Amino acid sequence: MKFVHVDAVSEIENIVYPTPWTKSAFINEVLDNAFAYYYVALDDGKVVGYSGMWLVLDEGHITTLAVCPEKQCRGVGAMLLGNLIKEAASMGAQRMTLEVRTSNAIAQELYRKFGFVRCGIRRKYYHDEDAVIMWLDQLVERGTNNGCYE
Ligand SMILES: CC(C)(COP(=O)(O)OP(=O)(O)OC[C@H]1O[C@@H](n2cnc3c(N)ncnc32)[C@H](O)[C@@H]1OP(=O)(O)O)[C@@H](O)C(=O)NCCC(=O)NCCS
């Protein structure tokens, strides 16, 4: 993700998330956060999805993953997640974590397919809802396979 993608990313963000990040939050991530790694999925040059993580020491923390509604259910989300795992592993991460809304069964199933395991609940993480905490361990041992691990 580069600065030029932020408008398109923000448009998708406002549609798919009930509590979207602001445009300036993405600009800060892309330009100023040395621990942040963000990616876009492009279709004919148009942003159709994006993903992001913070990489601190040997841990990757997935901060976002989204696909525009018209392009969902076509493997874009899986591609973006596979890429995040591969990038994190190649930069030395041993494990990855994320928070996901308890009601978001679709995303939890996607993460589960890539080997993420539910490890707890963070109460009121989203103010209006709890978060499920998921972890994926042994990244390097799993290799940098870009596909699902199940
Ligand atoms: C979660 C999200 C990124 C998935 O992206 P996607 O491109 O639609 O997902 P894919 O087509 O790659 O599907 C991957 C897996 O997700 C699950 N999935 C995707 N859409 C689904 C649906 N409508 N119903 C049930 N499971 C679904 C399936 O397990 C699927 O694997 P399969 O194709 O082998 O069945 C997308 O739904 C999205 O942007 N949601 C809104 C934002 C969000 O909730 N992000 C996650 C925050 S933690």
Q: Domain locations in the chain?
A: 3-142
Q: What percent of the chain has pLDDT over 90?
A: 91
List, for residues 46-102, the tens digit of each pLDDT value: 999 999 999 999 999 999 999 999 999 999 999 999 999 999 999 999 999 999 999
Supply the pLDDT for residue 79: 97
Ligand 1 pocket, residues with Cβ under 6 angstroms: 16, 65-67, 72-78, 100, 104, 106-107, 109-110, 113
The CATH code for residues 3-142 is: 3.40.630.30
Q: Report the atom number in ligand 1 closest to the C-alpha of 75.
A: 12
How many angstroms separate the CA atoms of 123 and 127, rounded? 9
Active site residue 50: no
Distance 78 CA to ligand 1 centre (A): 7
Active site residue 70: no
Residue nearest to atom 10 of ligand 1 (CA): 75
